[in-house]
Structure 1
Amino acid sequence: MSRYDFHDKVMLVTGGAGGIGSALCHRFAAGGARCVVVDLDEDRARRVAAELPGAGHTALGCDLADRARVEHLFERVADRYGRLDVLVNNVGTTSAERFDVRSVESIEREITVNLTSPLVATRLAVPLLRAARDARVVTTVSLGGIFPLGETPIYTASKFGLRGAMLAIGLDLRSKGILAGSVLPSATDTRMLRQEAVDGGNSLQFQDVPQQPADVVAAVVSLLDRPRLEAYPRPGESRLVRLAMLVPNLLPRMLPLFRQRGERGMARYLDELRRRGLARQVDGRWELVEEG
């Protein structure tokens, strides 16, 4: 049982129509919260909001890379609710394109979505958070915010920066009545991870079987139950990557070993997706099967 009282809390989740975001919204709503489901895809956000238990939920489409739209987003939240009890910065994106061939525009977009937009959203949410009695900010970072993922350096850059920023924000806002912390999951079985797998993305993520969105939800709830700067869905993995970072100059020797294990793990994951009817091979290439 959670010690945190969700009843009548106004809880906004960015990336709310995705695998982790929708699972968070369902958990919050089941506890009696009123959820603001924010997603780039407004139709999907509406579907998620319509499926939530309880009442008082809102679905809002918003490109979080567009500051004017983010400002309008919080104006709408203010008009409807007058406060915000919990902001969950959950939006994120990645690309399987390698650094030396991807466009500069795609680099800028990924940094904006993963790093800049959570900071802007948190800043713009401050007046609404201050109107709440027990304001919280929870940010989904990644173990990629601790350990460099060589095949996805822009994702790594954004998550390293996000982790550091949220640690600092947590220290700064604590004395101002807003508790901020982050969850740092490893690979999670969502559509984003499935797309990365079929695209031949970052094999380092597949050292172990991907966790489920429910595991991330449990870490978020634990952070609400017991406020702290960071929580890890898989503490053992977090200790391993933190230990590895004590000797970063050894990474060139260690990464081939990690990569070999990760490639085997990714092959198993793709085979599992095939068995689940979520991926298939066409002319020797993997592709996702769109869910109905």
Structure 2
Amino acid sequence: MNEVVVITGAAGGIGQAICAKLIQRGMRLVLVDIHAERLAQVAARLGEQATPFAADLTDHSALQRLMEMVADKFGRIDILINNAAITTVEPFDTRSVESIVGELNINLISPLVLTRLAIPLLQRSADARVVTTVSIGGIFPMPESPIYSASKFGLRGAMLSIGLDLAAKGIKVGSILPAATETPMLQKEAIDGGNALQFMDPPQQPEDVADQVLLMLDKPCLERTPKASESWISRLAMLFPNLLPRSIRLFKKRGEKGMQRYLESLGERGLAQRVDGRWELK
């Protein structure tokens, strides 16, 4: 295919799974991540078709340099994949203002800025596409992760709007809305006592999300959800937002049991251990 793909969060669990599948299709990848050493290792595994570019996504000058590098080396962008995200497990009433702004910058502001900066290079492609990893948290609120929910609600709405706007300009825009996915970020969240609602069902694998990205590329649309059942439950619950206090209590009981099973599975796989009655990652 020889298409040029720029993907953020390339060194993370979902990012690596997406990259592995895109390389199999013969695409040329520009891997973007803040973790330079890990990024270099991922690029080395993927081979000469992968170009690493370490960058802090909240540094808009770095994003501009990224676009300049891509323009010089490839001349265009065929596919932009906004995949990077973080989550912080901390009660809203004790979080610092800096951490709130930081999470919003990475999850919401940076993908919008990068998409905007990429438009001139996307317009040079014969089949330009933008794919964004949002979250089921962009549909359903998560009490333990209000800033993550805010960023994903906002990102989903923005990408739907941008998709409607750019379709007439030759750029197809779509979002993937995964539920809990087996990544180091999810493992840490479980250890830290994060959002129990994510564990109502066993987590999906990064490859499940990557498969949806490929399907989005083959059959573009505004949104796809790896776990359709969770999407419909979330959408149905949101039809009656005033019932959320009651419905979340029911979901949370199921989620807490699922989280305990997940923590035990981490222990069985040698990824975590109990220390003084608390789970810790190894």
Query: Could you state the TM-score of these two structures normalised by the residue count of structure 1?
Result: 0.95
**Structure-to-structure mapping, 1:216-235, within 5 angstroms:** 216-235=209-228
How big is the shift at 1:287? 1.5
The answer to whether residue 121 in structure 2 is matched with residue 132 in structure 1 is no
Cα distance between partner residues in 1 of 2:150 and 2:80? 23
Cα distance between partner residues in 1 of 2:117 and 2:37? 24
Cα distance between partner residues in 1 of 2:61 and 2:249? 44
Which of 7, 31, 35 in structure 2 is aligned with 1:41?
Answer: 35
**Structure-to-structure mapping, 1:1-292, within 5 angstroms:** 7-52=1-46, 55-289=48-282
How big is the shift at 1:213? 0.3
Cα distance between partner residues in 2 of 1:281 and 1:124? 46
Q: State percent identity of aligned pairs.
A: 58
**In the alignment, residue 262 of structure 2 is paired with which amino acid?**
Y
Superposition RMSD in Å: 0.8
Match of 1:11, SS state, is strand
How big is the shift at 1:64? 0.2
**In the alignment, residue 163 of structure 1 is paired with which amino acid?**
R
Match of 1:286, SS state, is strand
How big is the shift at 1:286? 1.5
Match of 1:59, SS state, is strand
How big is the shift at 1:56? 2.8
How big is the shift at 1:78? 1.1
How big is the shift at 1:198? 0.4
How big is the shift at 1:206? 0.5
Cα distance between partner residues in 2 of 1:272 and 1:78? 46
State the match for 1:3 in structure 2.
none
Match of 2:94, SS state, is coil
| 2:145–2:195 contact (8 Å) kept in structure 1 | yes
Moved over 3 A (4+): none
Deviations 1:211-233 (A, max 9, x none): 00011011111111111000010
**In the alignment, residue 261 of structure 1 is paired with which amino acid?**
R
How big is the shift at 1:236? 1.2
Deviations 1:236-263 (A, max 9, x none): 1111100000000001111111111101
Cα distance between partner residues in 1 of 2:246 and 2:276? 35
How big is the shift at 1:108? 0.3
Cα distance between partner residues in 1 of 2:38 and 2:49? 18
Cα distance between partner residues in 2 of 1:234 and 1:258? 17
Match of 1:281, SS state, is strand
**In the alignment, residue 111 of structure 2 is paired with which amino acid?**
P
Cα distance between partner residues in 1 of 2:213 and 2:50? 20
| 2:89–2:194 contact (8 Å) kept in structure 1 | yes
How big is the shift at 1:279? 1.1
Cα distance between partner residues in 1 of 2:123 and 2:250? 48
Query: Could you state the TM-score of these two structures normalised by the residue count of structure 2?
Result: 0.99
**In the alignment, residue 104 of structure 1 is paired with which amino acid?**
V
Match of 2:208, SS state, is helix
Match of 1:63, SS state, is coil
Q: Which runs of 5+ in 2 are unaligned?
A: none
